[in-house]
Structure 1
Amino acid sequence: MAAPVTDAAMKDLLPQQEDLLYEEELARNPYNLKMWIRYIQARTDAPPRRRHLLFERAVRALPGSYKLWHAYLSERKLAVRGLRPDDSAFEALNNTFERALVSMHKMPRIWTEYLELLMEQRLVTRTRRTFDRALCSLPITQHERVWQLYLKFIHMPGIPTETAVRLYRRYIKLEPAHAEEYVAYLKAKGHWGEAARKLSELLNDDTFRSLEGKSKHQMWLELCELVTKHPREVVGMRVDAIIRGGIRRFTDEVGRLWTSLADYYIRRSMFEKARDVYEEGLCSVVTVHDFSIIYDAYTQFEESLLSASMEQLAAEDPEGPEGAEEDDGTDFLLKDDGNDLDLRLARLEHLMNRRPELLSSVILRQNPHNVAEWHKRVRLFEGKPTKQILTYTEAVRTVDPDKATGKPFSLWCAFAKFYERHGDVPNARIIFQKAVEARHKYVDDVAQIWCEWAEMELRHQNYKRALDIVVRATTPPVRPARMTAEEERALPVQERVYRNLKLHLMHTDLEESLGTRESTCAAYDQILDLRIATPQVILNYALFLTEQKAFEDAFKVYERGIALFKYPHVKDIWAAYLSAFVERYGGKKLERARDLFEQAIKDAPPQECKPLYMEYAKLEETHGLARHAMDIYARALGAVPKEQRKGVLDVYVSRASDFFGIAKVREIYESAIEAEPPHELGDDDVREVCLRYAALETKLGEIDRARAIYVHGSSMSHPDKAADFWAAWRQFEVKHGNEDTFKEMMRILRSVKVSFSHMQINSIVDAARITSKAEAEAGMAAAAAGAKRPREGADAMAELEAEAVAAMGLGGAEGVAKKPALSGFVSAGVYQQGGDDKDKGKEGGGAAKKAPVVAANPEEIDLDADDDGGGAGGDEDMDVGTKAVPEGVFGSLAGLAAKGKEGGEAPAKKQRT
């Protein structure tokens, strides 16, 4: 009951003097909203009762004003802050909200504030009904604001679960995408059956998209976990069908789903059904990972059963098993008297022994055409013939030759050998017969089976049967006379196996061992007629005929092989043919042998003809004429490639020395070092030949000839790359020459070095000329098009050459005269003292003509008195020991030497050029 109003309070409620203005205005127009707001704002400091009275008058006059009601309710809410929920002020405030909602029932803000107030008061039923009234009053577009509070309300403590479930069911009708919130709430409250059913509905709804980002796969795993861990709460759901559907749809978690299904039956104490599920899972998974998961769970299950039985046996109290049962998911103790302990132990041992077999089955399910894995599976059943036979039978039926990994025919051969090892040869023959009739991809596979069959008969000494098998395999089938290669390739491999060389080679081997000469020749001729022979077949055929003393037939076989093959395959046939012919006839049929060698040389490419020439020359040396042999060596020298000529020349020189002496050797050497293309040698080979030729002449005492050879070889001996040549020449001059010859050698060395430098520069200049020519042509084209070329760059090359001449310090006429012949060559500052003989210094009493002054050559060798026993001043400064030399050594130089002495000049200097 409200407290009585006192006189003081009544006085405060009456209008004051300052309110008269507002009262008069409102009396004239009581519906003026602005005036009411101003009136209320002006009385901010007034007592709460007076302000509440003003608000009451205002909302009575304007019941549809949201602003007045919101301000009034907000002020009333502040007034009850801090009070107990059961205070009467809260009920008065509730009544005010009810009166406001009479006209403000379409305003969601009024509803939400009222609902929050009721939630604060913990009035469950009233709050729920108010929420329902709000949802009925507000349009559907405003329901989201109400449901946010409604969901918050049902999560508050003390809300009955059944009420919350019903509200969530209503909510997901409005917002189906928020069904996961419902499932999470059910799981939190322990309503596993309802959660599983709702999750199943979501999985069956193809239009559902998870707001939490979960995939269908994750939701399936969540459902499987629900139904397997809480089997008693999901009664009525087809758990088996649900999990099997997940197994079919999601192959990456098959192992986990199988174990979940087995766990479901275990929790329901259906142990045999769980064991069947484990076995089905082990026999259906296709990955080792899934197999490991199921196998580990299966073994753990069997071990748990065994442990439970052992504990049950150990318990003395017969009531122990009933009292020991617990509802924790592991309550699978069996009520028995312990008689099944051996059975369970045997089951566990059997499971562990089957692991390799089960794992092999998994690998074969991944690829049933894996031949190596089939062989490995057969070895797992070692000592169990029946299972091995069944495995072989399954393998040959399963493996597709077109998809096989490995050699499918090896399964057939191993199957037949299995029977052979057990002494059952007739069944082995049956397997081989089925094998050659089965479908294969390659001809070699069928041929290998035929060969294995024949070898089995040979192992059992059935020689006639083995030969008949090979003859049967190599007999051509009856077919139309005309058949294209494409049509023949389209035939089954069984009709093309007769052309297989492996079978024919086995046929020839058996004929050589078991047949006659005629049958063996027929087998070889069949190979040649089918045009499948190799050079080795030709050699084997000819060798067989040679062993049979049929030499001419062997030579005919060689001829057929030569007609069949070309180089490089015919190389071995020619070698064997020529060797056999020469060994057979020697010099009796020399002309025929020569014809054969000539034919072989004619057909041979240059890279392969050297051995033929060597054998040909050897034949002439042994049975013919040495002169012919020399001609053959000479021909070989021009026929073989450049890199092989050196070897031919060595043999040529050696044999010429043996047969004709030094004169022929000199002729060979001279023709070799002066040969014109295409008979020329390489520079390195020529240099080596010159060294050997010079050494030979030096040994014979022909010093001048040796020196001339060195001079000839110097033109192709780079000083930096052919140091051995110049070292040999230097040693030669030190031993056999004098000062002038040594200086001449040094002069040639410098000339050669300059010439090689010029060659390098020539290549650079040629490139520059090509570039200049291209630029000139471009300039002419530009001029024709009207473009003007700068004149300053027109003669850039000539300016560079002039700068090079100026840099050498050569000016005037002399400079021009001494300019190198090569345009653009910048010399190092050393020029050969050139000109005529009259420009050279004269020895004796004459005065030397003044030579041009040039820079010193840093590479010039200073032959002082310590090194050579004298200087360059003349003979009077030299202290050289002399010794009488026979005149025959000098040859034609002896007369010149005598004349030189009379004229006061050394003979060596007369010879210098």
Structure 2
Amino acid sequence: MAPGVVQQPMQNGSANLDHLQPDDDDLLYEEELLRNPYSLKMWWRYLEARRDAPAQKRYILYERALKALPVSYKLWHSYLRERQKAVRGLSVVDRTVEALNNTYQRALVSMHKMPRIWLEYLEFLVSQGLVSKTRRAFDSALCALPVTQHERIWQIYLKFLMQPGIPQETAVRVYRRYLRLEPTHTEEYIAYLKSKEQWGEAAKKMAELVDDDSFRSLEGKSKHQLWLELCDIITKHPKEVSGLKVDAILRSGIRKFTDEVGRLWTSLADYYIRQGHYESARDVYEEGLTTVITVRDFSLIFDTLTQFEEALVQHRLTQGADEEDEPEEAQENGVGDDGEDFLLKDDENDIDLRLARLEHLMERRPILLSSVMLRQNPHNVHEWHKRVKLFNGQPHKQILTYTEAVTTVNVDMAVGKLHTLWIAFAKFYERHGDIENARVIFDKATQVAFKYVEDLATVWCEWCEMELRHKNFKRALELMRRATYTPDKINRREEAEREKEGPVQGRLYRSLKLWSFYCDLEESLGTMESTQAVYDRILELRIATPQLILNYALFLQEHKFWEESFKVYEKGVAVFKYPHVRDIWLAYLQQFVKRYGGDKLERARDLFKQALREAPPEESKPLFLQYAALEEQYGLARSAMDVYDRAVKTVPVTERLAVYELYLARAHEYFGLGKVREIYETAIEEQDEGGLSDEDCKRMCRRYAALERRLGEIDRARAIFVHASSLADPRTDPAFWADWNDFEVKHGNEDTFREMLRIKRSVAASFSQVHYNTTLVEATTTPAAPEEESGKRKREDGDDMAALEAAVTGTRLQGFVSGGTVQPDQRTQDEAAAAVAPGGPAPAVVNSEDIELGDGMDEDENDAEEPTGEVQLQQKAVPEAVFRGAGAEDSSQPTGALERLKKRKLEG
């Protein structure tokens, strides 16, 4: 037991300390501690057992334990926490609080490496508001703890500095020490300085940050944002940052951040304005306007400069004659307090000077903006043209601009056509009457290594046109001869490769534009021989086009050199292929026929045959028409028919109908209806082989039926309608069925009309099927009525009438009645019909070749073909006219069939 610790409080009197004396329960712990006084476990059990004891008694136990174990963190921490709870809510001047501070100090003698105790002690001091004592305690903690633990101390230290009442000098010194440990936290220091309005120190630290390339902002700010913050500090507080080299700092930022320098220039000018140096501010503005490369920066600087000049003019207008101090509005607009501008006299001349300066600035804006665009890309040809237009009425400046443009623009980097600058430069001298200088410009332009041959050719052509405008025809021809000079060796492959690698001047002789201009010039000013030489040289160089071939041939024809022009055509058709040779062939054939007509018919035929052999089907129609016209006019009609027949088999399907129409018209004109019928039948027959489209075939059938109808061949017309019905969907092609309906109304009877309706229903059903495999459709659908079944079988089997006519006439066309041979039976019936009395009833039109089939026969055949089983037939009433019109033919029908029809009528 430590007697000194126990006996000290007993000197004050035994009456008040009786509760601190050990009782019988403490004897066990005291005896154990006498045997082992350095046992932490025993001391801790002793303290836990006396948890409910008075605070003074527990403090004595803690003091005794810590005297035996002074380096026990567990005991010190528990002891200090317990005493800190006891002083909570007490005044700072209380003796207990001071005693706790002493206790913390005694604990830190042995616990100086324990950061937790330091933190609790420092937080306790911060709450007391003792500035000096707290600062010394922080310093002691930083000295005692290792560097790895300093971060925990600095967090509390910085919060302490932010409290009100802390001297700024102390805070600045502490922050400087902190930045030595954590230089990346400089932004926190700058924010503190801004809050305390220490602008000089803040600007200095900000300048250090923007100059440090290795600095990385913890707040995620870019270097550009830091520069802008620095500009704000410098320009708004120029007096506080007088120790910095503001101009050098801002100019270094302008050099680094070229993407947005407008604000930096305006900040630098604003700095001089606030200093009262207005002329220096104007110089900064002008320098910014002539160096920025973006329109946004230019607009920012120009607008700021305009506002600055307007503010000066406004204040000069409102300033009194004897007023020496500047108005309050000038300060709001950025004008300095002691500016020298306001020392000028307020007279009329001074105001006029300021107004003239502002007006001159506004007039210079387009030119300054053009300079900005050219600084972005000095190789932009369009911008140079725009800049020249800005100096209209100032020839000297226009010449300087053109000179600067042609010397600045690089051919490989040019945006636009460089040769247009040279041409515009030369035309500028021409407009002012200086032809000699224009020729000098053109001559220099022809020596420029342009990127493309066409550019150089355009320069030569413009030069020549200028000479033509001034009536210098010989000089123009001489220029074209110079431009089209051809080297001796032009066919060697090595020479061609060398030309591609060399300048464009070596390939100029292959420019078709230049040669075409030369040809026009020779035709107008040269001789026949010189013009032919130019054209022949073009053909020799193999750079001719179909149009140039046509021009050459036309030129020869105008001078009556027909055979020479035909030789040119021959060269053209030998060089070019389709589709380029099409126009050459058409012109060749047309001019040949026009020249010789029928004199050289065999030669013309050979030419047409050669053209048709080379022509693809889609290009052959005009050739066929010209060939047929030749045969019609100078040859044989049969040969023309052969040409038309070949044409309808060769031209594309989409164009065959037009050719057929012309073919039919010529056949009717030369050979009559027999040939016309043959052509119609051939066209319709070849439809199945891909000859005509379905729409064209229907149109041909309708025209053929109309022809037969006019000729009185009713049965043939009806057969044509029956044949074409399979191509006409009643839902989409009502016109076809309307024609057939009108035909039956005028020329048919009840049976033929009903047959037409039956075919219409059958065709509509066939078009409504999902699939068109008729074998599968018949196998999967319900058996139809006998009449519909027989009609369908007739359509699928090729129609019995068509088969009979094929056997009689030998034609392969389905559904047609021959127009050639008339059967004896039909001739007899025609004679009998002619013998009828005029006043008697009109005889019915009877087709002698119609095969009469009884109803019973159809039913028996259908029943024999259908599988066994009951068939559900639809019942429908039969009109009375059927029974009355049957006549003798009805008696040949089976009795069962008649009975069934009557029964259906009664039931209906």
Q: Does 1:253 align with 2:260?
A: yes
CA contact (8 A) 1:457 1:465 kept: yes
Corresponding residue for residue 443 of structure 1: 453
Q: Does 1:213 align with 2:214?
A: no
Q: 1:503 aligned to 501, 508, 514, which one?
A: 514
CA contact (8 A) 1:12 1:50 kept: no
CA contact (8 A) 1:637 1:645 kept: yes
Correspondence 1:282-321 to 2 at 5 A: 282-312=289-319, 314-318=320-324
Corresponding residue for residue 887 of structure 2: 874
Q: Does 1:701 align with 2:712?
A: yes
Correspondence 1:427-438 to 2 at 5 A: 427-438=437-448
Range that drifts further, 224-233 or 755-764: 755-764
CA contact (8 A) 1:305 1:332 kept: no
Q: Does 1:337 align with 2:345?
A: yes
Q: Does 1:243 align with 2:250?
A: yes
Q: 1:128 aligned to 116, 131, 135, which one?
A: 135
Q: 2:147 aligned to 130, 140, 143, which one?
A: 140
Corresponding residue for residue 611 of structure 1: 622
Range that drifts further, 727-736 or 439-448: 727-736
Per the TM alignment, residue 164 of structure 1 is displaced from its structure 2 partner at its CA by 1.8
Per the TM alignment, residue 371 of structure 1 is displaced from its structure 2 partner at its CA by 1.9
Partners of 1:497 and 1:208 in 2: how far apart? 60
Per the TM alignment, residue 541 of structure 1 is displaced from its structure 2 partner at its CA by 1.8
Per the TM alignment, residue 287 of structure 1 is displaced from its structure 2 partner at its CA by 1.8
Partners of 1:155 and 1:401 in 2: how far apart? 65
Query: In structure 2, do the counterparts of structure 1 residues 608 and 66 end up closer, same or farther at CA, with 3 Å as the change threshold?
Result: closer
Partners of 1:389 and 1:572 in 2: how far apart? 49
Partners of 2:690 and 2:130 in 1: how far apart? 122
Correspondence 1:449-464 to 2 at 5 A: 449-464=459-474
Corresponding residue for residue 347 of structure 1: 357
Corresponding residue for residue 385 of structure 1: 395
Range that drifts further, 382-391 or 461-470: 461-470
Deviations 1:111-161 (A, max 9, x none): 444444444444433333333233323333333343333323333333322
Q: What's the secondary structure of 1:496's corresponding residue?
A: helix
CA contact (8 A) 1:399 1:408 kept: yes
Deviations 1:313-337 (A, max 9, x none): x241446799999998843621333
Deviations 1:732-781 (A, max 9, x none): 44434455655666677788789889995437859xxxxxxxxxxxxxxx
Query: In structure 2, do the counterparts of structure 1 residues 253 and 589 end up closer, same or farther at CA, with 3 Å as the change threshold?
Result: closer
Corresponding residue for residue 549 of structure 2: 538
Query: In structure 2, do the counterparts of structure 1 residues 862 and 630 end up closer, same or farther at CA, with 3 Å as the change threshold?
Result: farther
Q: Does 1:397 align with 2:397?
A: no
Corresponding residue for residue 233 of structure 1: 240
Q: 2:595 aligned to 572, 584, 592, which one?
A: 584
Deviations 1:230-265 (A, max 9, x none): 333334433333323322333343212222222233
Per the TM alignment, residue 580 of structure 1 is displaced from its structure 2 partner at its CA by 2.0
Partners of 2:81 and 2:568 in 1: how far apart? 122
Partners of 2:612 and 2:37 in 1: how far apart? 136
Q: What's the secondary structure of 1:405's corresponding residue?
A: coil
Q: What's the secondary structure of 1:253's corresponding residue?
A: coil
Per the TM alignment, residue 717 of structure 1 is displaced from its structure 2 partner at its CA by 6.0
Per the TM alignment, residue 598 of structure 1 is displaced from its structure 2 partner at its CA by 3.0
Q: What's the secondary structure of 2:260's corresponding residue?
A: helix
Partners of 1:745 and 1:323 in 2: how far apart? 103
Q: What's the secondary structure of 2:411's corresponding residue?
A: coil
Task: Give the residue type in structure 1 aligned to 2:227.
Answer: W
Partners of 1:385 and 1:695 in 2: how far apart? 82
Per the TM alignment, residue 705 of structure 1 is displaced from its structure 2 partner at its CA by 4.7
Structure 2: gaps (5+ residues): 1-7, 797-849, 864-869, 893-908
Range that drifts further, 699-708 or 588-597: 699-708
Partners of 1:714 and 1:822 in 2: how far apart? 10
Query: In structure 2, do the counterparts of structure 1 residues 730 and 342 end up closer, same or farther at CA, with 3 Å as the change threshold?
Result: closer
Per the TM alignment, residue 498 of structure 1 is displaced from its structure 2 partner at its CA by 1.9
Partners of 1:748 and 1:23 in 2: how far apart? 130
Task: Give the residue type in structure 2 aligned to 1:331.
Answer: D
Partners of 1:307 and 1:838 in 2: how far apart? 117
Q: What count of residue pairs does the alignment treat as equivalent?
A: 816
Deviations 1:634-664 (A, max 9, x none): 3333333344333233223322322333343
Correspondence 1:666-815 to 2 at 5 A: 666-674=677-685, 680-707=691-718, 709=720, 724-725=735-736, 727-738=738-749, 761-762=772-773, 804=780, 808=783
Q: What's the secondary structure of 2:493's corresponding residue?
A: coil
Correspondence 1:198-209 to 2 at 5 A: 198-209=205-216
Corresponding residue for residue 820 of structure 2: none
Q: What TM-score, normalized to structure 1?
A: 0.78
Partners of 1:191 and 1:32 in 2: how far apart? 58
Q: Does 1:105 align with 2:112?
A: yes
Per the TM alignment, residue 214 of structure 1 is displaced from its structure 2 partner at its CA by 2.7
CA contact (8 A) 1:80 1:90 kept: yes
Per the TM alignment, residue 549 of structure 1 is displaced from its structure 2 partner at its CA by 2.3
CA contact (8 A) 2:277 2:339 kept: no
Range that drifts further, 568-577 or 704-713: 704-713
Q: Does 1:173 align with 2:173?
A: no
Range that drifts further, 171-180 or 737-746: 737-746
CA contact (8 A) 1:371 1:405 kept: yes
CA contact (8 A) 2:330 2:336 kept: no
Task: Give the residue type in structure 2 aligned to 1:840.
Answer: G
Q: 1:514 aligned to 525, 546, 549, which one?
A: 525
Corresponding residue for residue 4 of structure 2: none
Per the TM alignment, residue 703 of structure 1 is displaced from its structure 2 partner at its CA by 4.2
Q: 2:164 aligned to 136, 157, 162, which one?
A: 157
Partners of 1:649 and 1:325 in 2: how far apart? 95
CA contact (8 A) 2:265 2:284 kept: yes
Task: Give the residue type in structure 2 aligned to 1:258.
Answer: W
Q: What's the secondary structure of 1:251's corresponding residue?
A: coil
Q: Does 1:640 align with 2:647?
A: no
CA contact (8 A) 1:620 1:628 kept: yes
Structure 1: gaps (5+ residues): 767-799, 811-816, 824-835, 879-899, 901-913
Partners of 1:20 and 1:643 in 2: how far apart? 125
Per the TM alignment, residue 74 of structure 1 is displaced from its structure 2 partner at its CA by 4.8
Partners of 1:708 and 1:152 in 2: how far apart? 111
